[in-house]
């Protein structure tokens, strides 16, 4: 898909800020540099020459000091000659073309838009987030979003969303995605993965072309709604048409919506495949496929749908895969479908740095009492409590309400409208505690959650990692408390070994500093 021979590292990556390579896929190269440089020299020469003639005319009007006037005229002529020589010499210096090109671009852009310096001043930027952040999101190379030559309207959306600088995963993936390369990216939960693919996707969409150009696949309906919302917010100044489609909702509404222009489609694999097979969702012009939570999308539940869906895309499509865990299925898929992918791995350790993990040994019948104690002792902003079955979710939610605490619950057997309402209300802070199954472990980003409680301990390390990743979002601090029965003790040890982490016994008093800063 990418025919140009640009280097792997666009501006701001390993070659200093704002290097000479332009990664914007919409950027059109100009006339040959020599010709353009000559144009600039001539334009400069004409401008100076006109100024010079005007000054000469003024001097002729003043005859009071002929000797001084002659000297002044001689100096002006020398200065004019030096300027001309300077521009000609600069044209011969290495890298001068880039300088001239940069000046030329500035001159042109300011001529077109006199308010080019004022656009940031008019932005509605939310208050800065002053909470403590860990190096999962602060260990960056120092790039700015402007280093990637993004459209101004997209930059406006980025800043108004409250993003200040790219996080490490965004620094790695945005410039590479803009060059058209396939990407396989592994980064921790809550470090900015969604924006890492939404920003290049929005940048590469051609508004003039009313076809589906980007498809973002996610494993759950809630994650689809959240991702489409991020796309809409980042692209609100771009007039890009974003559509979300998931199972569990009427097909008729989706069919009607697809008769209108759609540039970016977010959804679950089964529903998009269904629409593609019916010939309603046309994907022959879709140049980018994004797979978020790729490990889940390549589980037996979804993989057949994904492989069928890829057949509807053009051969030259770009595929971006993002996840926190990469099992064998992901490697196998990469070898079959990705063309010379750029691999990003920011997972030197699996658990999030800002999350403190504890366990409490309890008998099954003591669990609710233990939970009550936690509620009374912990400084909970919002908490998510995980159970291993739908039945237990409903029973526990009822118990928590009886204890006098506000509580919602959500699981896969609820009607979609009800699920959406619970998710939306919890996210907006209508309730402090949410009880749920593993449906809610993937990608769900609720910044206010600072405590995760495993009321039932998970069976494997992957589920554990995704569960505790619901707290400590975007490098903030969080707390994970695991209620462990006699039967769970071997699982606890195994998960500690597999993740290379330490889950300590819960102390009588937990210092608020470790999860509330």
405: helix, coil or strand?
Answer: coil
Q: What is the pTM of this model?
A: 0.54
pLDDT digits (tens, 9 = 90+) for 9-62: 444 444 333 333 344 444 444 444 444 444 444 444 444 555 555 555 555 554
238: helix, coil or strand?
Answer: coil
C-beta separation of 185 from 295 below 8 A: no
C-beta separation of 205 from 151 below 8 A: no
C-beta separation of 88 from 41 below 8 A: yes
Given the structure tokens 């401008």, which residue do they identify? 47
Q: Binning pLDDT at 50, 70 and 90, where does residue 420 land?
A: confident
In the chain the domains, ranked by start, together with CATH numbers, are 118-345 (3.40.50.300), 355-505 (3.40.50.300)
What pLDDT score was predicted for residue 215?
Answer: 97
What pLDDT score was predicted for residue 374?
Answer: 94
Q: In sequence order, which ranges of 207-348 are alpha helices (DSSP H)?
A: 221-234, 251-258, 269-277, 294-297, 303-310, 328-337
Secondary-structure percent of the chain, ordered helix, strand, coil, rounded to 5: 45, 15, 40
pLDDT digits (tens, 9 = 90+) for 302-314: 999 999 999 999 9
Residue 136, CA distances (Å) to 253, 292, 295, 350, 355 in order = 41, 19, 21, 11, 11
Quickly count: other Cβ atoms within 10 Å of residue 159's Cβ.
18
Strand order in the sheet with 183-186: 242-245, 264-267, 214-217, 288-292, 318-323, 183-186, 342-345
Query: For residue 435, which of 465, 476, 397, 481 has the smallest C-alpha distance?
Result: 397
What pLDDT score was predicted for residue 63?
Answer: 46
Phi, psi of 385 (to 5 degrees): -115, 125
C-beta separation of 213 from 263 below 8 A: yes
Question: What residues pair up with 383 in beta bridges, in sequence order?
Answer: 433, 451
C-beta separation of 435 from 409 below 8 A: yes
Q: Binning pLDDT at 50, 70 and 90, where does residue 500 land?
A: confident
| Alpha carbons 156 and 142: distance in angstroms, whole number | 20
| Alpha carbons 245 and 222: distance in angstroms, whole number | 11
Given the structure tokens 């990216």, which residue do they identify? 185
pLDDT digits (tens, 9 = 90+) for 250-262: 889 999 999 999 9
| 8-state DSSP, 411 | -
Phi, psi of 497 (to 5 degrees): -65, -45
Quickly count: other Cβ atoms within 10 Å of residue 50's Cβ.
10
Tokens of 417: 């409208």
Residues ≥6 apart with Cβ < 8 Å to 322 = 173, 183, 185, 186, 187, 193, 196, 197, 290, 291, 292, 293, 294
C-beta separation of 37 from 98 below 8 A: no
What pLDDT score was predicted for residue 499?
Answer: 79
Query: For residue 474, which of 219, 131, 146, 224 has the smallest C-alpha distance?
Result: 131
Query: For residue 205, which of 264, 259, 118 has the smallest C-alpha distance?
Result: 264
| Alpha carbons 357 and 187: distance in angstroms, whole number | 20
What pLDDT score was predicted for residue 200?
Answer: 95
Average pLDDT over residues 481-490: 94
Residue 397 has pLDDT above 90, yes or no: yes
Given the structure tokens 């010709």, which residue do they identify? 35
Longest dimension (CA), the chain: 109
Average pLDDT over residues 312-324: 91
């Amino acid at each position: 898909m990418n025919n140009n021979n640009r280097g792997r590292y666009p501006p701001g990556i390993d070659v200093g800020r704002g290097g000479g390579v332009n990664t914007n896929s919409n950027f059109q190269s100009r006339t040959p540099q020599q010709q353009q440089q000559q144009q600039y020299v001539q334009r400069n020469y004409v401008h100076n020459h006109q100024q010079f003639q005007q000054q000469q005319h003024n001097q002729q009007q003043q005859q009071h000091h002929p000797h001084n006037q002659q000297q002044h005229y001689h100096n002006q002529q020398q200065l004019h000659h030096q300027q001309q020589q300077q521009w000609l010499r600069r044209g011969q210096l290495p890298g001068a073309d880039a300088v001239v090109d940069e000046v030329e671009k500035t001159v042109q852009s300011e001529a077109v838009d006199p308010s080019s310096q004022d656009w940031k001043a008019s932005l509605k930027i939310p208050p800065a987030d002053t909470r403590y952040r860990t190096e999962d999101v602060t260990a960056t190379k120092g790039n700015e979003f402007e280093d990637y030559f993004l459209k101004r309207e997209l930059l406006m959306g980025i800043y108004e969303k409250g993003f200040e600088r790219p996080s490490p995963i965004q620094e790695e993936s945005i410039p590479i995605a803009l060059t058209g390369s396939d990407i396989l990216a592994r980064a921790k939960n809550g470090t900015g993965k969604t924006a890492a693919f939404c920003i290049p996707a929005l940048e590469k969409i051609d508004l003039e072309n009313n076809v589906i150009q980007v498809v973002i696949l996610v494993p759950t309906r809630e994650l689809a709604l959240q991702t489409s919302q991020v796309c809409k917010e980042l692209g609100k100044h771009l007039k890009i048409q974003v559509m979300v489609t998931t199972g569990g909702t009427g097909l008729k509404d989706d069919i009607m919506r697809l008769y209108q222009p759609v540039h970016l489609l977010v959804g679950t694999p089964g529903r998009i495949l269904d629409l593609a097979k019916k010939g309603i969702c046309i994907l022959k012009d879709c140049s980018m496929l994004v797979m978020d939570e790729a490990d889940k999308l390549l589980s037996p539940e979804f993989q057949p749908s994904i492989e069928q869906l890829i057949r509807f895309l053009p051969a030259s499509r770009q595929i971006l895969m993002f996840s926190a865990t990469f099992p064998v299925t992901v490697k196998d898929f990469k070898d079959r479908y990705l063309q010379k992918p750029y691999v990003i791995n920011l997972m030197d350790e699996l658990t999030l740095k800002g999350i403190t993990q504890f366990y409490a040994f309890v008998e099954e019948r003591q669990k609710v009492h233990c939970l009550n104690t936690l509620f009374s002792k912990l400084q909970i902003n919002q908490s998510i409590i995980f159970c291993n079955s739908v039945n237990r979710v409903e029973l526990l939610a009822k118990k928590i309400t009886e204890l006098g605490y506000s509580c919602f619950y959500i699981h896969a057997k609820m009607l979609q409208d009800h699920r959406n309402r619970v998710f939306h209300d919890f996210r907006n802070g209508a309730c402090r505690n949410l009880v749920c199954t593993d449906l809610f472990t993937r990608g769900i980003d609720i910044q206010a959650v600072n405590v995760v409680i495993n009321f039932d301990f998970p069976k494997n390390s992957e589920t554990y990692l995704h569960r505790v990743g619901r707290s400590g979002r975007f490098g903030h601090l969080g707390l994970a408390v695991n209620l462990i029965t006699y039967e769970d003790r071997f699982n606890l040890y195994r998960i500690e070994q597999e993740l290379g982490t330490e889950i300590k016994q819960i102390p009588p008093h937990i210092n608020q500093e470790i999860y509330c800063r």
